Amino acid sequence: MKNPSRMSFRLVASLLVLALPVTNPLLSAAAALAPPLEEQTNLQKDSAATQKRIDNLDDQTQTALAEYKESLRRADQLATYNAQMERMIATQQDEMIDMGEQIRQIEITKREIFPLMRQMLDVLAQLVDTDVPFLLEERRARLDELNGLMQQAGASLAEKYRRLLEAYQIEMEYGNTIEAYRGELPKAAEPKTVEFLRIGRTALYYITLDETEAGVWDKNSQSWQVLPGNDVELVRQGLRLARKELPPDLIRLPVFTAEGTT
């Protein structure tokens, strides 16, 4: 027969064992590791976020650095451009000073040359009045035009001088040519239309349209002298030669001297 007290102790012990909670070692370990793992995950998230911020800051820094370098490059270009502009402005200022001096000299030249041109024009007018009276209307019209030009304020000094020299050139060319033309007999007792033969500036002849009379200009008396009848044919041949109706050849014409015609 078993001992009642021992059986009671075992029963109590069994009941105590049943009353105690049953624990799983793996669950206990997992429960113990859960907080550190969660903390590590949070740290990793924070670290990733921090790295992202760092990357963003690095990108911003690189962009800012590139913009800074570009600003330095533009500033250098601008400084170079400004230096070049300053040199150009200095050169232009020197040129302006030089041009101002040139303009002042031009004004002085204008004041000096205009009276000279007036004198040249007066000499030309005197030449036409005392010269052999050929093409008087044309030559006097040229003088009138020059006189009008000299009085025009809008005409440049260069244009006035050019036209004056042109008139002198025309007068000079008269001395190297022969010419036949028709016109009114100038400085005659009565007006009449005749044919003229001009030999340079040396001699001027006329012949009437009916070729019955010929004459020569006498520089000494400043008048026309009628030629003898046998000289009319010589003047006629001279006119044909001037009109190129005859081949170039020597021509014999009477020349009026103080003693008469020769």
Burial class (CB in 10 A: 0-12, 13-18, 19+), 252: exposed
Provide the residue type at 118 as one letter: R
Low-confidence residues of the chain: pLDDT under 50: 2, 9, 12-13, 15-20
Cα–Cα distances in Å, from 210 out to 17, 29, 186, 198, 242?
177, 156, 18, 19, 19
Query: What pLDDT does residue 107 have?
Result: 72
Tokens of 257: 């001297």
Side chain identity at residue 69, one-letter code: K
Looking at residue 227, what is its pLDDT?
92
Contact between residue 213 and residue 232 where contact means Cβ atoms under 8 Å apart: yes
pLDDT digit string, tens, across residues 93-137: 787 787 777 767 777 777 788 889 999 999 999 999 999 999 999
State residue 20's pLDDT score.
47
The reported pLDDT for the residue numbered 189 is 77
Give the pLDDT of residue 252. Answer: 78
Q: Residue 200: phi, psi to the nearest 5?
A: 55, -135
Residues ≥6 apart with Cβ < 8 Å to 135 = 181, 183, 198
The DSSP 8-state label assigned to residue 230 in this structure reads G
**pLDDT of 53:** 81
